[in-house]
Amino acid sequence: MSTFNFDEIIDRTNTNSLKYDFAAERGKPADVLPLWVADMDLKAPAKVLEALEKAVQHGIFGYSDTKQSYFDALQNWFASRFDWNIQPDWLVKTPGVVYAIAMAIRSLTNEGDSVIIQQPVYYPFHQMVVKNNRKLINSPLVYKGGSYQIDFHDFETKIVENNVKMFILCSPHNPVGRVWTKDELITLGDICLKHNVVVVSDEIHADFVYEGNRHLIFASLKPEYLQNTITCTAPSKTFNLAGLQVSNIFIANPDIRKKFQAEMNKSGYSELNTLGLIACQAAYEHGAEWLDELKKYLAGNLAFVRDFVKQRLPQIRLVEPQGTYLVWLDFTQLGLTEEQREHLIVTKAKLWLDSGVMFGKDGEGFERVNIACPRATLQKAFEQLERAVKDLKD
């Protein structure tokens, strides 16, 4: 029996929560049930809260940095969980993975250079490429037989035709939930090496992989990949610490790291959030048991969604996830336009989800749902969706 109460319903309203308190500002009815943005409706591990409370009681929040114990916590985590032995000089701390991706783009490519991504994919990839005046190249994932695959021929052809300089890899993949196999990652990696394409690997969801799958750190697969990759990690998804603004970026290649750090220096950013650093270290030192129990709970949430959709919402198809706590639902059989589906979900079902089109045109007809919440919340949401879909036929 779990010693952690993930069934606890915690009222997040009136906490300035982006997820719960900004529906009206974002054009949604005030009474929608939110299952959109990727943070959890679950408390962080108790040891993290204790470390933060101790720091708050001290009462001084001056400029801070990290000692050896911080790195040791990271090193132990990645060695024990992923068999990856990181080195101290690889580490660059940033306030977030999206910020790190922007720094990578700015430091390693020039305006007008091509950057390739695989849509449907986490929408800030697209935003950071375009907003930094680079050329966006999409090699879309192929949806076939209820699952997503990579079109390697298309990927390489577009790299060659567009003289691509950078590839932003999402691993595990958000939103489609793929955990890439070793063969898939090596094929991608070899293509990038062949054509001198640097890889930025967003592995923020690495800790959430379902039974029967294994996350492989891309940079660990070959020494050549290690020297050609910026690996982006953070405790934010794993331990629900997104608002504390800490990410750990690993760059083994000293030339790449120097350029990356120089671009950070230009941005004016240096010391990170004091409480974020404290929470990060405590999470990696003491959060393993909490995470292992959480993963079991999330597997139960996934089973609930799988059964509910199959038995009560057969018009909607679950794209079976191999990782992350985000599920990708195929609504195309309902035959609705984007506007009609939005009306169904927001107005009729009173839900706030992430429309698939925000992840690129290849996501049209899909919705992303965050299942990192108490089971009762998930049940309420899907019952509301069931009633709304039933009303379509009546």
Q: Is 66 left (phi over 0), alpha (psi -120 to 50) or beta?
A: beta
Average per-residue pLDDT for the chain: 97
Cα–chain-centroid distance for residue 240?
A: 12
DSSP one-letter string for 272-315:
PPHHHHHHHHHHHHH-HHHHHHHHHHHHHHHHHHHHHHHHH-TT
Domain with CATH 3.90.1150.10 in the chain: 18-45+288-393
User: Model confidence over 149-199: pLDDT tens digits?
Assistant: 999 999 999 999 999 999 999 999 999 999 999 999 999 999 999 999 999
Q: Which residues in 62-91 are b (16+ Cβ under 10 Å) and which e? A: eeeebeeebbebbbebbeebbebebeeebb
Q: What is the mean pLDDT of residues 96-105?
A: 98
pLDDT above 60 for 1: no
User: Model confidence over 312-359: pLDDT tens digits?
Assistant: 999 999 999 999 999 999 999 999 999 999 999 999 999 999 999 999
User: What is the C-alpha to C-alpha distance for residues 261 and 241, in angstroms, rounded to an integer?
Assistant: 24
Residue 79: partners with Cβ closer than 8 Å, 6 or more residues away: 85, 86
Three-class DSSP category at 101: helix
Q: Place domain 18-45+288-393 in its CATH homologous superfamily.
A: Aspartate Aminotransferase, domain 1 (3.90.1150.10)
pLDDT above 60 for 13: yes
* pLDDT of res. 393: 72
Three-class DSSP category at 350: coil
pLDDT above 90 for 8: yes
- Top pLDDT among 79 and 394 is at 79
Find the distance separating the first CA and the last CA of the chain, reported in whole Å.
Answer: 43
* pLDDT of res. 81: 98
Number of H helices and E strands in the chain, helices first, is 14, 15
pLDDT above 80 for 394: no
What percent of the chain is predicted at pLDDT more than 70? 99
Task: Tokens for 173, please give them.
Answer: 């993949």
* pLDDT of res. 297: 98
User: Model confidence over 55-80: pLDDT tens digits?
Assistant: 999 999 999 999 999 999 999 999 99
Q: What is the mean pLDDT of residues 223-241?
A: 98
* pLDDT of res. 2: 67
User: What is the C-alpha to C-alpha distance for residues 206 and 323, in angstroms, rounded to an integer?
Assistant: 8
Beta bridge partners of 233: 248
268 DSSP assignment: T
Q: Where are the alpha helices (DSSP H) in the chain?
A: 18-21, 46-58, 68-82, 97-108, 123-131, 152-162, 182-194, 223-226, 236-239, 254-267, 274-286, 288-312, 338-342, 375-393
**Confidence category of residue 3, pLDDT binned at 50, 70, 90:** confident
* pLDDT of res. 103: 98
Question: Letter for the amino acid at 205?
Answer: H
Domain with CATH 3.40.640.10 in the chain: 59-286
97-108 and 123-131 helices cross at what angle (nearest 10)? Answer: 40
Decide: 281 and 69 in contact? Cβ < 8 Å: yes
Beta bridge partners of 327: 369
Cα-flanking dihedrals φ and ψ of residue 181, to 5°? -80, 165
* pLDDT of res. 238: 98
120 DSSP assignment: S
Decide: 243 and 37 in contact? Cβ < 8 Å: no
DSSP one-letter string for 137-150:
EE-PPEEETTEEE-
- Top pLDDT among 154 and 271 is at 154
CA gyration radius for the chain?
Answer: 21
Task: Tokens for 97, please give them.
Answer: 């993975």
User: What is the C-alpha to C-alpha distance for residues 239 and 47, in angstroms, rounded to an integer?
Assistant: 11
The CATH architecture one would assign to domain 59-286 is 3-Layer(aba) Sandwich (3.40)
274-286 and 68-82 helices cross at what angle (nearest 10)? Answer: 40
